[in-house]
């Protein structure tokens, strides 16, 4: 990577997030936008980029990331759909490319990262928990990557505390009619015009509830986190899941 200027290419550059990322990189100190790539483009050497920002579609993202890693280019990935199988395959490839960093972040908004952190804190105090995620109707995946990650974090915190899966979710709703079961947590997906990206984590106890809520009203909310990822990825070799691993929390 050059001494002062980080050369950045964006893959998925014509999309909603990709175009916002292009604008953010263009306006950032110490970065230069060197390439914009979208579906059907030959990625080649990614216009000589040091770091690629990848916001495409879940089916395309693993191949795009693999292309970058093969060429020793660091990648900041915002695309969702990184199943354990896809991650395992990437990790296997990365074992042959020492020093390359890949950050996979289901949510770049700082408030969303704090929401997940607060949810982790609360998880061990409440047996009853559900997640509601609300997005614009064009969102292709459900539940959202953030909701899946939140459920995973809550599930891990509950396991650590020795709590069973949320009892209301599993015993009262065996067919999952009230939402998808993710790591033993019910996740409800709402798709509604006017929404951008929103999430509530609801905890219930005796005579009380606790709600942790985050709202992204505009895609610019993700951009400080994307730029943080671009700045940090070269010094975090290997695969990192979650921007929280780059932040002092």
**Interface positions with ligand NAD (CB under 6 A):** 11-12, 14-18, 37-39, 55-58, 60, 64, 78-80, 105-108, 141, 222
| Distance, CA of 5 to CA of 71 (rounded, Å) | 19
Q: Catalytic one among 97, 139, 188, 236?
A: 139
Other beta carbons within 10 angstroms of residue 172's beta carbon come to 11
- 198 is known as an active-site residue: no
Asked if omega into 213 is within 30° of 0 (cis), the reply is no
Shortest CB 163 distance to ligand NAD, Å: 29
* 35 annotated among ligand-binding-site residues: no
* 41 annotated among ligand-binding-site residues: yes
Nearer to ligand NAD among residue 106 and residue 155 (C-beta): 106
State the number of CA atoms in the 13 A half-sphere of 4 facing the CB.
2
* Two tokens, residue 31: 């970065």
Closest of 207, 241, 197, 233 to residue 49, by C-alpha: 233
* 108 annotated among ligand-binding-site residues: yes
Shortest CB 23 distance to ligand NAD, Å: 13
Shortest CB 125 distance to ligand NAD, Å: 28
Q: Catalytic one among 135, 183, 198, 214?
A: 135
Shortest CB 15 distance to ligand NAD, Å: 2
Closest of 84, 15, 3, 34 to residue 222, by C-alpha: 15
Nearer to ligand NAD among residue 11 and residue 31 (C-beta): 11
Nearer to ligand NAD among residue 60 and residue 241 (C-beta): 60
Nearer to ligand NAD among residue 12 and residue 101 (C-beta): 12
- 236 is known as an active-site residue: no
Residues for the chain: how many in total? 249
Q: What is the DSSP string of 137-204?
A: TT---SS-HHHHHHHHHHHHHHHHHTPPS-HHHHHH-TT-TTSEEETTEEEEEEE-TT--EEEEEEEE
Annotated binding site: 12-17, 41, 78-80, 105-108, 136, 145-146
Residues forming the active site: 135, 139
Annotated binding site for NAD(+): 12-17, 41, 78-80, 105-108
């Amino acid at each position: 990577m050059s001494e002062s200027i980080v050369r950045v290419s964006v893959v998925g550059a014509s999309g909603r997030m990709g175009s916002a990322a292009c604008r953010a990189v263009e306006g950032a100190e110490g970065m230069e936008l060197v390439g914009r790539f979208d579906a059907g483009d030959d990625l080649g050497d990614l216009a000589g980029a040091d770091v690629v920002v990848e916001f495409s579609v879940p089916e395309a993202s693993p191949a795009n990331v693999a292309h970058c890693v093969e060429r020793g280019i660091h990648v900041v990935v915002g695309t969702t759909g990184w199943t354990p199988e896809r991650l395992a395959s990437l990790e296997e490839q990365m074992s042959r490319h020492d020093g390359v960093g890949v950050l996979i972040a289901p949510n770049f908004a700082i408030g969303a990262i704090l929401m997940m952190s607060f949810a982790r804190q609360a998880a061990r105090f409440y047996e009853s928990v559900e997640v509601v995620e609300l997005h614009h109707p064009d969102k292709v995946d459900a539940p959202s990557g953030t909701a899946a990650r939140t459920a995973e974090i809550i599930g891990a915190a509950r396991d650590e505390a020795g709590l069973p899966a949320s009892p209301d979710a599993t015993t009262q709703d065996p067919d999952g009619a009230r939402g998808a079961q993710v790591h033993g947590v019910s996740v409800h997906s709402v798709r509604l015009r006017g929404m951008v990206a929103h999430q509530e984590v609801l905890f219930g106890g005796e005579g009380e509830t606790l709600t942790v809520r985050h709202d992204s009203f505009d895609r610019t909310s993700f951009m400080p986190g994307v730029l943080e990822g671009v700045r940090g990825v070269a010094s975090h070799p290997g695969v990192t899941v979650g921007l929280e691993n780059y932040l002092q929390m």
